[in-house]
Structure 1
Amino acid sequence: MGNKLSGKDLIKIGFPKNNSINIALGQINRYRKREKKESILTEAKEVLLFPEKFTGHGTWGKVAEGLVNPVQVRMHQLNNTRAPFSIFGENEIDEQAKYQLYDALKLPISVAGALMPDAHSGYGLPIGGVLATDNAVIPYGVGVDIGCRMSLSIFDIPASFFKGKEHQLEAILKDNTKFGMYETHTIRPDHEVFSRSEFQDIPLLKNLLGKAYKQLGTSGGGNHFVEFGIAKITNPLNEWKIGVGEYFAVLSHSGSRGLGANIAKHYTYLATKQCPLPKNVQHLAWLDLNTHDGQEYWLAMNLAGDYAKACHDDIHRRIAKAIGKRVVVTIENHHNFAWKEIVNGKEAIVHRKGATPANVGELGIIPGSMTAPGFIVQGKGNPESLNSASHGAGRLFSRKKCKETFTQSEIKKVLKTNGVTLIGGNIDEAPMAYKDINKVMANQNELVDVLGTFTPKIVRMDR
């Protein structure tokens, strides 16, 4: 018996001559190739005899499914008609973003859709796109940065706290935030998210645990940031321990780092293999939630979302400790995520790719740009938008166009005019790259109520 396990070995122990052999070899090569052939075959025999015992198992669950109820791989065609949809701020949205939504609405799994006023084209679903599907999740409908989120901490400190402390606050941001692929904190606390069973039960996640631990409390590149600013509260809620006024605050924007990116890459690949689609919509390949891979992605996606929150919590904890003050109100929300929600009286999977959940009473923060205010909002639960709102101002210029159009000296001038200090940042994140947040907010007054604003003063981004 050679060292490398083959299809013939599986046939010898009784595997049927069908796709279950390919599935088994794929799973073994991906997760168990360093183990002895004999022990793997012993396990494989057990799976063959009692497949129901291995439902949901990290390595063998997909094999068991292939033996009992194999996934049918077939080319899916688009419907001729679109599922119902609404567009908010249509005149401010580029045509390509609209056509991306129109294509998504023709998927046989699509139930309803919406486009937010900050929308612009992306991969698969447009940024600012919301899509409800029937018992299926689209990894690229969620996005690469799973659970990317906003988190705003408001301190019971007046806005005048900034005066004379600018250099000290700059130093706090530099010392307590890390950005990009390689920066990590020297001292990393443990977090309950790392004890989650998914990190042991799902082989992909087991391999990513070390990376996730290293990157806890860090932020990504691109448009991710941590910034000090002024929160102006105009309509406080009863449960808040602060009233109308202007307060010192910190706002962060980042997601699930390498953990989320690897989950997205892995399950997008599996979706495209299981769900062939016409070329123009191949990024919208989905996973049926009744399948092993669909259930596994759902668990992994939710873990990535909780990990993203853990990162923000760590950032805000470090900053509060450095300032020596206590946070009194935290407002936070995901985008780039999928939720099980009721749409038209039936449960559906609602994907919000660059869109903020805005169910009745739900709080959120919608940022502008580094020189424009963000808005603290409360959802109205508008069914036309699938209970969603924009996740920011939205891009007016692509990253490539920014590099062709703007200069560092122009950016410095705009920052100075607005009294904003920038640490790091690149031309592709120029304040001028974004739409007018006030127009965006005017186009979604049916979706959210405004409770206050956040104005950036000291901004830290990746270099």
Structure 2
Amino acid sequence: MENKRINGNDLIALGYKENHTLGAALKINSKRHGLTRTEMLGKFKAVLEDPSAYLADAVFGVLADAILGQDAVDASLITLNENPVGYSIYGESEIEAGAKEQMKVAMKLPVTVAGALMPDAHQGYGLPIGGVLATNNAVIPYGVGVDIGCRMALSIFDMPASLLDTETDTLKETILKHTRFGAGNGYLKHERVDHAVLENKLFSENNLLASLKDKAWTQLGSSGGGNHFVEFGMVEFNEKDEVLDTDKGVYLGLLTHSGSRGLGATVAAHYTKLAKSLCKLPYQAQNLAYLDLNTMEGQEYWMAMNLAGDYASACHEVIHEKIRAALGAELLAKIENHHNFAWKERWNEQEVVVHRKGATPAAKGVMGIIPGSMATPGFLVRGKGDMAAIQSASHGAGRLMSRTQAIKTLSSVELKNMLSDQGITLLGAGMDEAPMAYKDIHTVMASQKELVDIVAKFSPKIVRMADDGSRED
């Protein structure tokens, strides 16, 4: 018990309110300062009861000052709406309370118009992963997410899926040769490829982006850590799809998941900090700080976000083209969609900014890809345009447990047996990405039948992920 970390609930039990003072206390608590847990709690209680006595204290003086100045801080904050706007929720029984609470806070923002929570939702920073939020002329950097423009891309080749059994070694070698994974990883100068996205004028007009151009070039065509992947698998159409002009059958497919790498992460960090400095929200909503699109800062972020999205798309394009050329394959169809982004759209006859933080665009007729895990199927889908869901769907199965929990509790032997039973070859990845750490994809899909139609099923067979546990999203 003595080593148990003090958390916000412990401090609230002492009488602290959920405001910026609580944040100051938690920051001090990040180090024990040579005190036991009991002694720390005693100090926190004493400072709260008589802050003036601790103004000169080397450790707790900052907290004392925050307590005494809290009224002035409260007076300067943007007021949240007392009653949150209602929002739609799909697969509610499978969604943790923390994600719902975060969505409730988001629905109180003065710029909020509408919201929806997808069945793969789980708690994140600010807006939950799987949260969709429509706002009035405002963009929320943390409503977009850290990995701006993270996306899925599926290439369907005019090659039989049987190659996954007969040419396994060749396909493994192809993925290993033409992909690179992990935070900070990229290509040496003689390995780099060129792409039109690097000629975007913003790289010369925006100082932050100018400083990131060489990193962007270095990482072009690479993938992040965490849940990012490149997979060969079977794409199964149960009937001919007229739109894609693809006959019924089973094809060799290449599926990728990755985002805007270091470029997007740096843009997200910079503009989130800027938004927090300009948009002072109450403590529980501070990660939802927004930028008005009528301001210079809002326009800067909007343009940088769109560039990061284009860059993420370029990374997938490079990977897919390298592998297609290596296989000498003919491309039957390619489908791509992104999440972690904001779009200007029409909703109920008004223009809104739609944030999809871990949610797939699903307007009527729009194609999307919803993956499962390294050992469960994903689905090629077509949106139904459901307005209650703000024309959105889930972006995957969604995490069932945290990465830390998965590493501590899941069995590597169980994972190995599962992959072996299903004939899946895994190249890289850690236990934090084990299928058991994710929700059941079939339950998730059943919760959104009114949002999308399933067009085809993708079954992973050769899976490449970061092998060092690194992550950027």
Q: Output the TM-score relative to the length of structure 1.
A: 0.83
Report what 1:138 is aligned to.
140
2:321 partner letter: R
- The whole-number CA distance in structure 2 between the counterparts of 1:274 and 1:225 is 37
Deviation at 1:370, TM superposition (A): 0.9
Matched, 1:435 2:439: yes
Matched, 1:388 2:392: yes
- The whole-number CA distance in structure 2 between the counterparts of 1:288 and 1:89 is 33
- The whole-number CA distance in structure 2 between the counterparts of 1:242 and 1:139 is 38
Report what 1:169 is aligned to.
171
Report what 2:408 is aligned to.
404
CA contact (8 A) 1:360 1:378 kept: yes
Show the 5 A alignment for 1:306-455: 306-455=310-459
- The whole-number CA distance in structure 1 between the counterparts of 2:96 and 2:303 is 34
Is the partner of 2:297 in helix, strand or coil? helix
Report what 1:153 is aligned to.
155
Report what 2:89 is aligned to.
87
- The whole-number CA distance in structure 1 between the counterparts of 2:283 and 2:219 is 35
- The whole-number CA distance in structure 2 between the counterparts of 1:236 and 1:124 is 42
CA contact (8 A) 2:184 2:262 kept: no
Deviation at 1:372, TM superposition (A): 0.7
Deviation at 1:74, TM superposition (A): 4.8
CA contact (8 A) 1:84 1:111 kept: no
Match among 190, 194, 207 for residue 194 of structure 2: 190
- The whole-number CA distance in structure 2 between the counterparts of 1:362 and 1:239 is 11
Deviation at 1:200, TM superposition (A): 1.1
Matched, 1:228 2:255: no
Residue-by-residue CA offset, 1:197-245 (whole Å, 9 max, x unaligned)? 1111111101110100000000000000000000001244324242011
Match among 159, 180, 183 for residue 181 of structure 1: 183
RMSD: 1.1
- The whole-number CA distance in structure 1 between the counterparts of 2:363 and 2:240 is 18
Is the partner of 1:371 in helix, strand or coil? coil
2:229 partner letter: F
Is the partner of 1:330 in helix, strand or coil? strand
CA contact (8 A) 2:239 2:249 kept: no
Alignment length (residue pairs): 391
Residue-by-residue CA offset, 1:170-223 (whole Å, 9 max, x unaligned)? 111111100012432342221111111111111110111010000000000000
1:453 partner letter: K
Q: Which moved more, 1:358-367 or 1:395-404?
A: 395-404
Q: Where does the alignment leave 5 or more consecutive residues of structure 1 unmatched?
A: 1-72
Q: Output the TM-score relative to the length of structure 2.
A: 0.81
- The whole-number CA distance in structure 1 between the counterparts of 2:96 and 2:193 is 44
Residue-by-residue CA offset, 1:412-456 (whole Å, 9 max, x unaligned)? 111111111100000100111111101100000000011011000
CA contact (8 A) 1:275 1:285 kept: yes
Is the partner of 2:162 in helix, strand or coil? helix
CA contact (8 A) 2:145 2:341 kept: yes
Residue-by-residue CA offset, 1:140-186 (whole Å, 9 max, x unaligned)? 00000000000000001111122221111111111110001243234
CA contact (8 A) 1:117 1:443 kept: yes
Show the 5 A alignment for 1:207-222: 207-222=211-226
Q: 1:235 to 1:451 in 2, by over 3 A?
A: farther
2:86 partner letter: P
- The whole-number CA distance in structure 2 between the counterparts of 1:199 and 1:235 is 45
2:251 partner letter: Y
Report what 1:243 is aligned to.
247
Q: 1:236 to 1:80 in 2, by over 3 A?
A: farther
Q: Where does the alignment leave 5 or more consecutive residues of structure 2 unmatched?
A: 1-74, 468-473
Match among 261, 285, 290 for residue 289 of structure 2: 285
CA contact (8 A) 1:236 1:451 kept: no
Q: Which moved more, 1:403-412 or 1:191-200?
A: 403-412
Residue-by-residue CA offset, 1:224-279 (whole Å, 9 max, x unaligned)? 00000000012443242420110000000000000000000000000000001111
